[in-house]
Amino acid sequence: MKVERKFNQTPGDTNIAILGYLARVGTWMNLRQITTGTPGSDLNRERLRLILESFAKKEFIEIRESQNPKAKYEYKITEKGKIAFLKCVSFDPDVKYLLGLRDHKEI
């Protein structure tokens, strides 16, 4: 009998999903757009904002004031962020399993 492991979304899954979404889109996005576009995520805006600020400190993303008056800031992935995302999704499947990471599609 084969037992299949069910995954809950880990913080790592969330971070990879956010970077993956920003990498696929490749343009400036506001919080609402990222929240609704990040698959498999139940992020609220405050938690997402904190994650994005931590990404900016690591230079995975850039932040600018929004040109849309309804949004305060916009976010865009950097080349360093794309490279970090690709490293995360290129783990061996067994390593992903051990880390509890879901399979994320590459860009």
Query: Span 22-37, mean pLDDT?
Result: 90
3-state secondary structure the chain: CCCCCCCCCCHHHHHHHHHHHHHHHCCCECHHHHHHHCCCCCCCHHHHHHHHHHHHHCCCEEEEECCCCCCCEEEEECHHHHHHHHHHHCCCHHHHHHHCCCCCCCC
Angle, helix 79-89 to helix 11-25, in steps of 10 degrees:
130
Given a cut of 50, is residue 1 above it in pLDDT? no
Q: What is the pLDDT of residues 96-107, one digit of tens each?
A: 777 776 665 544
Q: What is the pLDDT of residues 59-82, one digit of tens each?
A: 999 999 998 888 899 999 999 999
User: Number of folded domains in the chain?
Assistant: 1
Domain of 42, CATH number, reads 1.10.10.10
Range of the domain at 20: 11-99
